[in-house]
Structures are given as structure tokens and as C-alpha cells.
Chains A and B, each alone.
Chain A
Amino acid sequence: GQNIDQPTEMTATEGAIVQINCTYQTSGFNGLFWYQQHAGEAPTFLSYNVLDGLEEKGRFSSFLSRSKGYSYLLLKELQMKDSASYLCAVRDINTGGFKTIFGAGTRLFVKA
């Protein structure tokens, strides 16, 4: 089966850097996604990693280590609007490559 773990909540200060970790277990890894979700809204795509290493996109970076089953999302220069839930999601090729499993999300609070 698949399992995804990420912290429930984190708090950080405006302008700072925060790292949100995600660990996963899956039998047929086929990519890891990070989504941002504001309360009452749909998830918004942030990043996709399928190979090991760091992907940088503006203030957001995502890292993947497939051997460790580990990823993190790094948010720099935090802004108040970054207060949201951050969802780690994994696609499993053993399911035909179509099924994406979401973690419970990490709720990030950015304080002034």
C-alpha cells in the first residue's frame, strides 16, 4: 500500500524560510507533487519531482530522495499569503500510473 507522512502544523515568521518535510512509502514510485491549498479552495500545483535532487521555482523549491522516500518543500521570503495547507502527493506506477495519493497536509501559519 501507500503511506505519506507530513507534519500537521508549522508556524514561521514573515520573511523567513520554512522547510516542510514529507516521507512516503510506495511500491512503485512515479513522481511526487506538492500542492498549496487555501481553506475552502482547490489544491494549486506547486512542484513535481520524479528524479532525485532539487527543483527550484522562484520562492519555492522541492527536493526528492527516492532512496530515502523523502521530500521537502522549501519556502523562502515567507509572505502572509503563504499561510495555507501544503499537500504532499505521490503517484504510484503500480496502479497504472494514474492514481495520486495525498498526504493529510501541513498547515502553515505565517506570523508577522
Chain B
Amino acid sequence: EPEVTQTPSHQVTQMGQEVILRCVPISNHLYFYWYRQILGQKVEFLVSFYNNEISEKSEIFDDQFSVERPDGSNFTLKIRSTKLEDSAMYFCASRGGTGTDTQYFGPGTRLTVL
């Protein structure tokens, strides 16, 4: 069964450093998402991406965040200057085209900012 994959599984970084989290969505899917989940808290929407552009973003997704689909398979989330409060699990999700409503989540990247 196809699945969403994410790398790395765990990323440790120093405050102020840039990080790039990588995702490979399911191959024929058209809609891509990033969510984050701070430990013990709820899953929070960050951004959705369709047709090579951001379709929606939340208040969390400020100028420090950016997303890119550099090729036909990868979908990345970049945090330019990490803060302590960016420490969380980051989940990538994808869903198919029209009429395919299920989002499938990747296993997540645990980001720890020291």
C-alpha cells in the first residue's frame, strides 16, 4: 500500500539555525499539507499546497516558514531561524484529486530546538 514518507525521523538543531523537513507524498496525490503537534497538544494545520502554490496557511505559518516542491516527488518545509517553541512533531499529509477526500499522514519528524 502506498504511503507518505518523511525524513529525518528526528532532527535536533540549535536555536536560530535553519532546518528543512522532507516529505515524499503518495505518488498520484495532488494536495499536500504540513501539520505540527506540540507534545501533548492537538494537531495544528500549518499550510496546504496545490498546483505548485500555497492554497492556504495558518497564523502559525509566518515568514520564518516556507514550503517547496522542488521536483515531482519531494515536498519540503523550511524553517529559516528556529525558535525553542518550534519544537514539535511535524506531519506531512497528502490526498488525491477531486472526490478523494482522505488525507494520509506521514510518520512525522520530531524537531527538537535547543
Interface set of A (CB-CB < 8 Å, partner B): 31, 33, 35, 37, 41-45, 48, 50, 87, 89, 91, 95-96, 98-105
Contacts and interface: CB of A to CB of B under 8 A. Distances in A.
Given A87-B42, A101-B45, A102-B44, 4 more contacts: A43-B43, A89-B43, A99-B58, A105-B42
B39 to A, nearest CB: 10
Contacts of A44: 105
Q: Is the interface of B mostly helix, strand, loop or mixed?
A: strand
A102 B42 contact: yes
Contacts of A42: 91, 105-108
Interface of B: 31, 33, 35, 41-45, 48, 50, 55-56, 58, 91, 101-108
29 contacts: A33-B102, A35-B105, A37-B43, A41-B108, A42-B91, A42-B106, A42-B108, A43-B91, A43-B105, A44-B105, A45-B104, A45-B105, A48-B102, A87-B42, A95-B56, A96-B56, A98-B31, A98-B33, A98-B50, A98-B55, A99-B45, A99-B48, A100-B33, A100-B45, A100-B103, A102-B42, A102-B44, A102-B45, A104-B42
A87 B55 contact: no
A50 B101 contact: yes
Scoring A31, A45, A87, A98 by chain B CB atoms within 10 A of each residue's CB, the highest score goes to A98
A102 B43 contact: yes
A43 B58 CA distance: 20
Contacts of B106: 42
Nearest to B41: A104
Contacts of B42: 87, 102-105
Given A96-B56, A99-B48, A48 B43 contact: no
Contact of B55 (A31, A41, A89, A96): A96
A99 B56 contact: yes
4 smallest beta-carbon distances between A and B, as pairs? A98-B48, A42-B105, A102-B43, A104-B42
Contacts of B105: 35, 42-45
